[in-house]
A and B are shown apart, each in its own frame.
Chain A
Amino acid sequence: MVKKKKEIKSRNDFFHLPEVYTLGQAILEADRCLLCYDAPCSKGCPAETDPGKFIKKLRLRNIKGAVKTVKENNILGGVCGLVCPVDKLCEEECLETGIDRPINIGKLQRFLVEYGWDIGFNPLNKKKNKDINIAIIGSGSAGLICAAELAKEGHNVTIFEKNEKLGGNLRYGIPPFKLDDKFLDREIEDILTLGVEIKTNHEFKGKGSIENLLKQGFKAIFISAGLTNPYKLKIPGADSKNVITWYDFLWEVNGGDINKVIEMVKNKNVAIIGGGSVAMDVGITCKLLNANSVYCIALESMEDLPADREDIHKAIDCHVIIKPQSQIKEISTKNGEVIGVKGTEIKLLKKGDFSPSNIKDIPGTEFSFKIGSVIFAIGSGVDSKNKEYLPLVEFDKKRYIKVNKKTLETSVKGIFAGGDIINGPGLVVDAVKDGKQAAKSIMNFLNK
């Protein structure tokens, strides 16, 4: 129930995952649950992981059943437990009931998944092989879920992944204190156990190379290649040395050469452009790598920051300085090296509209910081080569793949798409939802 008090952690310990519940703590937490009818928390989960159900099961000591509910509904349940912005989803709904503090749903979910691993309980079954081949392009959350759902039903699924390891943004876009390799590998193992085939380090080349899979024995394709083109602002100095994107930064932290980023930030002041959860993650990581002052410069006001509340609190705890309602105008350089940033505070003529014509500088608020490195964390766009690989598939104005929002079917029969490549940057649970929906639609399509 209660655990021995831990010694206060050093800052570097943030590079490890937070502690997982013991069984006793989990049951005690479940005991607080009101066991709502038509549980609001379950409605708050886009992936339909159904916390209301697994908490009730835990409460009635049906622990294996609870593990089964999580994993059957969301095979990436452990990952979601760690990375979901629960205070905007299930736990926000929980709080709405008037409970004094919401049930720690994310932590319970992660506990159940790890508990299942600890006792060697695998609730997932595979149906008889159907001898139908399906291709999945990209192994981020949407792709992994879709692969698992189809494999469970007995399809032969092949995942094509351009990187060395599976996971997409889960592996390369999330810092290790939120989700580490060991945990991700273990959860992906659950998917591979279903008999999914993987082709990593796979680069598509040439016109129609993805669409052509339909002629090579694959009955359907699910495209979940994500967004691979991180944005930079077009301002003076943006092409200097030590100006990189969040994606390149976290890629080095997670799988590349961490010394490269340490050199970039250690004992230097760092400016991060952006106010989302990724900007906070990058800011915290910089502090853990012993940066001096770290600034997160965001257009939004403090209350409108798009970052998850918990991420903002964690960033502030790590002494990241958030500068809201501010815009960077210029990156100052000397001999090609960054020496500072210049900007002003702004106001919006119309609330919530961040288009350039709606942003107005506030005179007299100009600022300049002494900065050694700049990291852009303002989202990502689509890969410019998508149109080459998919000449027949239609794209929308933002160059996302156009789909039927219900079925996720593209303009080409047999090709489906989901995740960030159709929605733009989104949450892991939204990608999980797409993965599940795509699997359903593909099976419907095959049954026609």
Chain B
Amino acid sequence: MKDLSITVCGVTFPNPFMLSSSVVSNTAEMIARAFDAGFGGVSYKGIGGPSVEIINPAPRMHSLNLGSKKLVGLQNVEQTTDRPLKDNIQDVIWLKKHYPKNPVMVNIMGFNKEEWKYLAKVFEDAGADMLELNFSCPHMSVEGSGMKVGQAFKLVRDFMEIVKSSVKIPVFAKLTSNVTDVTEPAMYAKEGGADGITAVNTVRGVIEVNVDNFVPYPNVFGKGAISGYSGPGIKPISLKCIVELAKKKELGLPLAGCGGIETWIDAVAFLLSGASLIQMTTSIIRYGHRLVEDLIEGLSFYMEEKGFKKVEDIIGKALPNYHETIDFDLSRQGAAQFDLDRCIGCGVCYIACQDAGGQCIEWDAEKRRPKIDQEKCYSCMICSFVCPVDNPPLITFKEIKGKKIYTPPPSKLQKIIK
């Protein structure tokens, strides 16, 4: 097994895999189980200041299913921790005593300057290795809290400054994707002295409405809310945020990637795109702590295969390959290639191409096989997305030297309209 350790802001994690601040990091007992299973670190569940009473709606969550696949997304209206501050402090002390090698980052959320300062100090004293300031909870209703801070960029800077002036340990800012450009609040966080950025918190969303009683899920006694959506469904958004932050040269801070990570392949994609740490919740809800074994083994085998010695060597390796679309070489063209020996004759490629593609696939009804006009194919590749023959795929993209871009001729129907 490879050494997967990584040092971020002077804190060494045995591996980059962390519990994100959520239901999965609510108690020391739970976190200890995760450490035993192999997780490297934790972002301890969001702790609010003493001024706010503990509130948590019931029920708190709802699952988005896709066919037989459960939990492709998760909706939650949960607020900060449901436990008293005193208990959380004791838990952090206990964790640091029993798991000294597993860094504990404590996620805090103040509601005014004094609270930010107080919470930061208290958890530094309890032994936290790092802090994570929650500027991003998507369903806090109090002004000056959660996502509302992340959207009012000056507050990000001000609260960061206060915390940084009261503690010595590294401080991350956890940002929301519910802004036009995530690098903007990130730069304000940096101005306030942030040591790193966690991106991103849940995305504001609504996953389902009960069509019988018209109440969106989760149904909190007749009321629903636009609230935090997480899981594999938001991975493209969280990965995008990491890329934007990593490519922002003026920022130059270490990043913790969060949002929809489930397999080692997802984790590697985040590392390649600039993240140093990997946080997760929904996948743990789905599979339990046991999934970390597969993240560790998968990453380790990957590093062995690719000849990477340290996790650090992977970070940002994909960044040079992200471009603006204007930079694409449009003179090169290609077409979908079919390995018809393996075709089972289901015809779904034909339907997709005729109804949503370049209309270049015809159907040989007798042989039950698609017939492809490569000249007309414009490489949308949707045929390959619906083809059930996979691993390796039956339909692949191939460049065709000298191929011209095909423009569909005027529609036959035009004559009739005239």
Listed in ascending order, the chain A residues whose CB lies under 8 Å from chain B are 1-5, 22-24, 27, 35, 37, 56-57, 60-62, 64-65, 68
Whether B391 lies near A62 (C-beta < 8 A) is no
Known: A3-B342, A5-B344. A68 touches B297 (CB 8 A): yes
Whether B391 lies near A22 (C-beta < 8 A) is yes
Bound complex: CA of A4 vs CA of B264, how far in Å? Answer: 31
**Interface bits B370-401 vs A (CB < 8 Å: 1, else 0):** 00000000000000000011110000000000
Bound complex: CA of A68 vs CA of B301, how far in Å? Answer: 11
Contacts of B293 in A (CB 8 A): 57, 62, 65
Question: Shortest CB–CB separation between residue A54 and chain B, in angstroms?
Answer: 11
For B344, B346, B388, B390, which residue has the most chain A Cβ atoms within 10 angstroms? B390
Whether A4 lies near B344 (C-beta < 8 A) is yes
Known: A56-B290, A61-B264. A1 touches B298 (CB 8 A): no
Whether A2 lies near B297 (C-beta < 8 A) is no
Known: A2-B388, A60-B262, A60-B263. A65 touches B297 (CB 8 A): yes
Q: Does chain A have a CB within 8 A of B343?
A: yes
12 A-B pairs (CB sep. < 8 Å): A1-B389, A2-B388, A4-B344, A24-B390, A24-B391, A35-B287, A56-B294, A57-B293, A62-B298, A64-B297, A65-B293, A65-B298
Q: Which residue of chain B lies nearest to A60 when distances are taken between CB atoms in the complex?
A: B294
Q: Which residue of chain A lies nearest to B393 when distances are taken between CB atoms in the complex?
A: A24
Whether A4 lies near B343 (C-beta < 8 A) is yes
For B, the interface residue count at a CB cutoff of 8 angstroms equals: 22
Identify the 6 closest CB pairs spanning chains A and B, nearest first: A24-B391, A62-B294, A65-B297, A23-B391, A24-B390, A60-B294
For A27, A35, A61, which residue has the most chain B Cβ atoms within 10 angstroms? A61
Bound complex: CA of A2 vs CA of B262, how far in Å? Answer: 25
Q: Which residue of chain B lies nearest to A57 when distances are taken between CB atoms in the complex?
A: B294
Q: Does chain A have a CB within 8 A of B355?
A: no
Q: Which residues in window 296-338 of B have CB below 8 A to A?
A: 297-298, 301
Bound complex: CA of A96 vs CA of B343, how far in Å? Answer: 36
Whether A4 lies near B341 (C-beta < 8 A) is yes
Bound complex: CA of A61 vs CA of B390, how far in Å? Answer: 14
Bound complex: CA of A394 vs CA of B263, how far in Å? Answer: 54
Contacts of B162 in A (CB 8 A): none
Which among B298, B342, B389 is the interface contact of A61 at CB below 8 angstroms? B298
Bound complex: CA of A1 vs CA of B301, how far in Å? Answer: 25
Q: Does chain A have a CB within 8 A of B405?
A: no
Bound complex: CA of A62 vs CA of B293, how far in Å? Answer: 9
Q: Does chain A have a CB within 8 A of B291?
A: yes
Contacts of B262 in A (CB 8 A): 60
Whether A65 lies near B388 (C-beta < 8 A) is no
Bound complex: CA of A37 vs CA of B390, how far in Å? Answer: 30
Q: Does chain A have a CB within 8 A of B11?
A: no
Whether A27 lies near B294 (C-beta < 8 A) is no
Bound complex: CA of A65 vs CA of B391, how far in Å? Answer: 18
Contacts of A68 in B (CB 8 A): 297
Contacts of A22 in B (CB 8 A): 391
Q: Does chain A have a CB within 8 A of B265?
A: yes
Question: Shortest CB–CB separation between residue B259 and chain A, in angstroms?
Answer: 18
**Interface bits B27-40 vs A (CB < 8 Å: 1, else 0):** 00000000000000
